Amino acid sequence: MSLPIPEVAVTLRVNGADHELRLDPRVTLIDALRDALGLTGTKKGCDQGACGACTVLVDGKRVVSCLMLAAQAEGREVTTVEGLSRDGALHPVQEAFIRHDAFQCGYCTPGQILSAVCLLAEGRAGSDEEIREFMSGNLCRCGAYPNIVAAIREVAGAGGSP
């Protein structure tokens, strides 16, 4: 018989707001975001680090949140798709995805958009090849890749992502 694992106190800073939680220390960041905080924009695909659907930003860097424990994110700045809009206006990458029809079912889209925001900030959207390479961790079952590249290329051409 295994003993119950005591919960731990974890303060998560998500989209600029602190959340004090008590969690099983084995809870992953994606489960804390979706189940404890109700931020269901972050999607779970493979739950094994292989599809990118669960991508969020941690301290501005891309992280597959199914492979990170929530406790590991304590003291760090987590950004989910819900945190990208400003004053009711969509982020330029979100607007470009809409303009370019860069999704079909939309399941992979939050992860795609967060990856795109990060690669634009890193200056890694210099060519279609570079965009494809640095977006290669985000899979799309619907095959929206050409439109995704076009959306990112447009934002890059406009001077990148704020």
Helices (H), 12-65: 29-31
Q: How far apart are CA 21 and CA 143, in angstroms?
A: 38
d(C-alpha 6, C-alpha 58), whole Å: 26
Residue count of the chain: 162
Please say whether the beta carbons of 145 and 86 come within 8 A.
no
Contacts (CB under 6 A) with ligand FES, residues 53-92: 53-54, 64, 66
Pick between residue 52 and residue 92 the one whose CB is nearest to ligand FES.
Answer: 52
Footprint (CB under 6 A) of ligand FES, residues 105-144: 105-109, 140-142, 144
Residue 25 phi/psi, 5-degree rounding, is -60, -15
Find the part of the chain contacting ligand FES (CB under 6 A) among 46-54, 68-76, 84-92, 118-126: 46-54
Tell me which DSSP letter residue 81 carries: G
Nearer to ligand FES, 12 or 140 (CB): 140
- Residue 123 or 146: the one with the smaller Cβ distance to ligand FES is 146
In the complex, minimum distance from the CB of residue 54 to ligand FES, in angstroms, rounded to a whole number = 3
* Contact set with ligand FES (CB under 6 A): 44-47, 49-54, 64, 66, 103-109, 140-142, 144
